[in-house]
Chains A and B, each alone.
Chain A
Amino acid sequence: MSDGTAELRQFAIAVGRIADGAYEDVDGVITKGAVNVKTEMIADVKASRHFKGMAGSITYEHHNTPGVIRREIGPDKGRRGGALGNIYYFGTSRGGGSGDIEKPLNTEEPRLMGAMQALVDRWAGQL
């Protein structure tokens, strides 16, 4: 009759295996989400009569640090039209700011949460 030690060891090995790949798994989900957000931001700005010229300036960058997965998405001021980004989204001293910076995030949020849930379910299936 087992005292449970062997099962516990197997469980620990399985958890360790999942933990080894977890960072890359989550990084992949976040990257996919960032691409989707960027794509929608570009589509939105292309629909603007006055700001469509800045569409090519919208990029995303990896800002990962140990234990933290982060993407920065938006107009790059170093690219053509990028300096118009703050005017498009936030206006000037006289108003404006017709771009909705939260809309692409709101669109992506349920998709991202679904992908994260699927990832957790996959991990659970490996235990």
Chain B
Amino acid sequence: MIIMQFRNISTYTAVVFLILLSSGCKKFLDQVPDDRVTIEEVFQKKQASEEYLANVYSHIREQGNQWTVNPFSGNTDELDVTWAKYSTYQLNIGSWNPTSLPFDIWGEQYKGIRSATYFINHIDGNEEILRLNGQQRIDQYKAEARFVRAYCYFALLRQYGPIVILGNEELAPDAPTADFQIPRSSYDESVEYIAGQLDSAAAVLPTSPAEDRDYGRATKGAALALKARILLYAASPAFNGNADYANFKNQDGKSLISGAYDTEKWKRAADANKAVIDLNLYALYKHASGDPVESYRGILLDAYNGENIFSRRNNNLTDWDVHSMPRAAGGWCGMGATQEMVDAYFMKDGLPITESSLYSENGFTDDIYNMYVNREPRFYASVNYHNRMIQGGNIITARRLNFFNGGTDGRYEGTEDYSKTGYLVWKNVSPNTNRITGQWYNRPNVLIRLGEIYLNYAEALNEYDYNSNQTEILKYINLIRERAGIPQYGTGPDALPIPATQSEMRDKIRQERRIELAFESHRWFDIRRWKIARDVMKPVHGMNCNGKDASAFFVRTEVTPRQWRDAYMFYPLPQYEIDRGRLLVQNPGW
């Protein structure tokens, strides 16, 4: 009886509580306000949409930081990043694998790709942009996003090999795992896809920035130039008739890199590069003074000059300045040009050191080691060496650099901030950056420039058919050499003989490219596509940084290792990805 009563009461109370809970109190937990920014609203507003597009652009990787962001110079024979704490060292001693992968950009670039796709699929009908700028602006933005997406795909393709192509729809985040499974496309399919995307972007993009505020946006030229580079890569020996990858197949047996050689790939590459040249929008940069050193330095230091096809406005170049500058100038003194790179520069007669009579490794001229005397202007524009007079950074009045052990810029007890090669990079290092006073010379990071296109074009034509294109090839090589201030092949003052064979020409083009594009993140890819990495990736040398005087210092000395295994041809896909993308195959050798 009493129990009954108790039950009644508790039931009654429970009912009261439940009523309380379900009516007024339900709102108690309704805490999130409705008018937050949602992704839908982002695409209703102009500023927000442009911010979204900026986020897409931000996936274009800058190349100023060569120690923790890009290994493409420091992991080659042109540059030695002196500090073992940075991951370039890990690559150089071969301490990398799919689970411990410095400089891995796989996931990050795919985020850019997804965001670009999302932008393309959602920007249509943005009322504010329509009202202010019309449909044309929306189309332009879509084409820009398409360009960036292609750029990201290309960044993946050149580093990892055949890519996963996702197409025009983004995958739902909560889809079942099975829906995420996509195999890699073959190298050629990847190239076709990216080139096709760039074509459709180029068709819409403006030829040049409409206003000052649009500098840095993708243009038609940028899209065509990127396509030209991709097609050159695709025609190169590593991807054109390379039998090494016969067993590199998807799980279903699909071959990922074709072993068939197709000479027409070179033709296509040449045409694509020519198409950029034919836009007639760009010209090689030359300094008003006509000084070839200034001209060459200005290419990268003089913002938005006529040679610049595509660049990244915000970047780490001032950091690059600081890392490259001598200690005396307040720099970290650690971007060491290698002896291999120093040796690669021509003499002022336009010949390599092995052929030129001007070259000597004995004696000094005006306190300068003769190795550095009579070199071509690009050497002086690019490399700092012992006893060079220099001004910049915190060196207000020009003074000589001292790379000897104990010298102002050399090895010094208690600091790791010294170049182990006895050289420092000077190319693209702005003297106007001064860490001590906190002065930073910001400038765009040039990612594609006309000089490269000329070299691409010459290379492709030479490989396609040297004999019938000799004039055209020489024209563009000579344009580069003319600006560099060195004698040309078969023309001009002190003309050098015209290379007789395709193979000779190939060597000339490759050395020209190595010099002209040094420290611009090309070397890593060039030695791979040319299939010369095995020979190149040997321990790099420098002068003996332990030497306290000239006789001890000016001795070629092995500095740091460069490991090579055939697997290094491509970056491995991260193990994380292999474990999740179950249709993916790992790159050969990993």
Instruction: Judge: A and B partners, yes or no.
Output: no
Taking Cβ atoms with an 8 Å cutoff, the residues of B that contact A are none
Binding site for B on A (CB under 8 A): none
